[in-house]
Protein backbone atom coordinates (compact mmCIF):
# COMPACT_ATOMS: atom_id res chain seq x y z
CA UNK A 1 0.00 0.00 0.00
CA UNK A 2 2.93 2.33 0.64
CA UNK A 3 4.24 1.75 -2.89
CA UNK A 4 0.79 2.36 -4.39
CA UNK A 5 0.44 5.63 -2.48
CA UNK A 6 3.93 6.71 -3.52
CA UNK A 7 3.02 5.95 -7.14
CA UNK A 8 -0.13 8.09 -6.90
CA UNK A 9 2.16 11.01 -6.09
CA UNK A 10 3.98 10.38 -9.39
CA UNK A 11 0.84 10.38 -11.56
CA UNK A 12 0.09 13.16 -14.02
CA UNK A 13 -0.96 16.46 -12.46
CA UNK A 14 -4.51 16.00 -13.80
CA UNK A 15 -4.89 12.58 -12.15
CA UNK A 16 -3.47 13.94 -8.92
CA UNK A 17 -5.88 16.89 -9.09
CA UNK A 18 -8.90 14.59 -9.22
CA UNK A 19 -7.55 12.63 -6.25
CA UNK A 20 -7.07 15.84 -4.26
CA UNK A 21 -10.54 17.11 -5.19
CA UNK A 22 -12.13 13.86 -4.02
CA UNK A 23 -10.21 14.06 -0.75
CA UNK A 24 -11.23 17.67 -0.21
CA UNK A 25 -14.96 17.42 -0.86
CA UNK A 26 -15.67 14.32 1.21
CA UNK A 27 -15.68 14.42 4.99
CA UNK A 28 -13.08 12.36 6.85
CA UNK A 29 -10.77 11.84 3.86
CA UNK A 30 -7.01 12.16 3.97
CA UNK A 31 -4.67 13.49 1.30
CA UNK A 32 -2.17 11.13 -0.31
CA UNK A 33 0.63 12.85 1.63
CA UNK A 34 -1.21 12.33 4.94
CA UNK A 35 -1.94 8.71 4.07
CA UNK A 36 1.69 8.08 3.11
CA UNK A 37 2.93 9.63 6.38
CA UNK A 38 0.55 7.42 8.38
CA UNK A 39 1.50 4.27 6.45
CA UNK A 40 5.23 4.88 6.82
CA UNK A 41 4.78 5.26 10.59
CA UNK A 42 2.73 2.04 10.77
CA UNK A 43 4.98 -0.92 11.57
CA UNK A 44 4.37 -4.61 12.18
CA UNK A 45 4.27 -4.18 15.97
CA UNK A 46 1.46 -1.63 15.60
CA UNK A 47 -0.35 -3.99 13.22
CA UNK A 48 -0.18 -6.84 15.75
CA UNK A 49 -1.47 -4.55 18.52
CA UNK A 50 -4.42 -3.39 16.41
CA UNK A 51 -5.23 -6.72 14.74
CA UNK A 52 -7.05 -8.00 17.82
CA UNK A 53 -9.54 -5.15 17.32
CA UNK A 54 -10.20 -5.77 13.60
CA UNK A 55 -13.68 -6.80 12.43
CA UNK A 56 -15.31 -6.73 15.85
CA UNK A 57 -18.20 -4.77 14.36
CA UNK A 58 -18.93 -3.30 10.98
CA UNK A 59 -21.25 -2.33 8.19
CA UNK A 60 -21.84 -4.53 5.19
CA UNK A 61 -23.18 -3.37 1.85
CA UNK A 62 -24.23 -6.15 -0.47
CA UNK A 63 -24.68 -5.52 -4.19
CA UNK A 64 -26.24 -8.13 -6.46
CA UNK A 65 -26.38 -7.87 -10.23
CA UNK A 66 -28.30 -10.42 -12.23
CA UNK A 67 -31.55 -12.31 -12.40
CA UNK A 68 -32.25 -12.63 -8.69
CA UNK A 69 -35.48 -12.02 -6.92
CA UNK A 70 -35.38 -9.55 -4.03
CA UNK A 71 -36.01 -12.31 -1.50
CA UNK A 72 -33.11 -14.39 -2.87
CA UNK A 73 -30.74 -11.42 -2.62
CA UNK A 74 -31.84 -10.75 0.97
CA UNK A 75 -31.37 -14.42 1.82
CA UNK A 76 -27.80 -14.43 0.42
CA UNK A 77 -26.94 -11.26 2.34
CA UNK A 78 -28.31 -12.66 5.61
CA UNK A 79 -26.37 -15.91 5.11
CA UNK A 80 -23.17 -13.95 4.48
CA UNK A 81 -23.79 -11.78 7.52
CA UNK A 82 -24.32 -14.89 9.65
CA UNK A 83 -21.14 -16.57 8.31
CA UNK A 84 -19.00 -13.51 8.97
CA UNK A 85 -20.49 -13.09 12.45
CA UNK A 86 -19.81 -9.38 12.58
CA UNK A 87 -22.27 -7.38 14.69
CA UNK A 88 -23.87 -4.58 12.73
CA UNK A 89 -23.12 -0.99 13.75
CA UNK A 90 -26.32 1.08 14.03
CA UNK A 91 -26.72 3.63 11.21
CA UNK A 92 -26.78 6.47 13.74
CA UNK A 93 -23.12 5.91 14.75
CA UNK A 94 -21.40 4.38 11.71
CA UNK A 95 -19.15 6.24 9.31
CA UNK A 96 -20.93 7.76 6.35
CA UNK A 97 -19.17 9.33 3.39
CA UNK A 98 -20.71 12.72 2.77
CA UNK A 99 -19.83 15.71 0.62
CA UNK A 100 -18.80 18.67 2.72
CA UNK A 101 -21.01 21.73 2.71
CA UNK A 102 -19.03 24.67 1.41
CA UNK A 103 -19.73 28.10 2.80
CA UNK A 104 -21.58 30.33 0.29
CA UNK A 105 -19.30 32.60 -1.75
CA UNK A 106 -16.14 30.93 -0.46
CA UNK A 107 -13.02 29.86 -2.28
CA UNK A 108 -10.30 27.39 -1.44
CA UNK A 109 -7.05 27.21 -3.34
CA UNK A 110 -4.75 24.24 -2.97
CA UNK A 111 -1.40 24.39 -4.71
CA UNK A 112 0.62 21.19 -4.74
CA UNK A 113 4.10 20.84 -6.16
CA UNK A 114 4.64 17.64 -8.15
CA UNK A 115 6.93 15.12 -6.54
CA UNK A 116 8.22 14.27 -10.02
CA UNK A 117 10.53 17.22 -10.69
CA UNK A 118 10.69 16.34 -14.41
CA UNK A 119 6.93 16.90 -14.81
CA UNK A 120 6.33 19.88 -17.10
CA UNK A 121 2.54 19.72 -17.09
CA UNK A 122 0.18 21.34 -14.65
CA UNK A 123 -3.50 21.07 -13.83
CA UNK A 124 -6.27 23.33 -12.61
CA UNK A 125 -9.57 21.95 -11.36
CA UNK A 126 -12.47 24.24 -10.45
CA UNK A 127 -15.28 22.72 -8.39
CA UNK A 128 -18.69 24.37 -8.08
CA UNK A 129 -21.19 23.23 -5.50
CA UNK A 130 -24.58 23.83 -7.03
CA UNK A 131 -26.70 23.68 -3.90
CA UNK A 132 -26.42 23.27 -0.17
CA UNK A 133 -27.71 19.99 1.17
CA UNK A 134 -29.52 19.94 4.48
CA UNK A 135 -29.16 17.13 6.96
CA UNK A 136 -31.91 14.57 6.45
CA UNK A 137 -33.04 12.22 9.18
CA UNK A 138 -35.00 9.07 8.53
Q: What is the pLDDT of residues 56-75, one digit of tens each?
A: 777 777 888 889 899 999 89
Read off φ and ψ for residue 15, nearest 5 degrees: -65, -40
CA-to-CA distance for 88 and 125, rounded, in angstroms?
39
Model confidence band, residue 101 (pLDDT cutoffs 50, 70, 90) = confident
pLDDT in tens, 33-43: 788 888 888 88
Angle at 129 between CA 8 and CA 17, to 5 degrees: 15
- Per the CB < 8 A criterion, the answer to whether 20 and 112 are in contact is yes
Distance CA 56, CA 28 (A): 21
* pLDDT greater at residue 134 or residue 121: 121
Average pLDDT over residues 106-122: 78
Backbone phi, then psi, for 99, in 5-degree steps?
Answer: -75, 135
pLDDT (0 to 100) of residue 8: 76
Query: Residue 131: which pLDDT band, with cuts at 50, 70 and 90?
Result: low
Q: Are 97 and 26 in contact (CB under 8 A)?
A: yes
Amino acid sequence: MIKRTQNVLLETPLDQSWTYLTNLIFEHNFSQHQLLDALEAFDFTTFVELSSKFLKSGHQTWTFVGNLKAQEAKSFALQGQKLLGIPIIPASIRYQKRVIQLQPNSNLTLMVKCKNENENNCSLVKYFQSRIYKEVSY
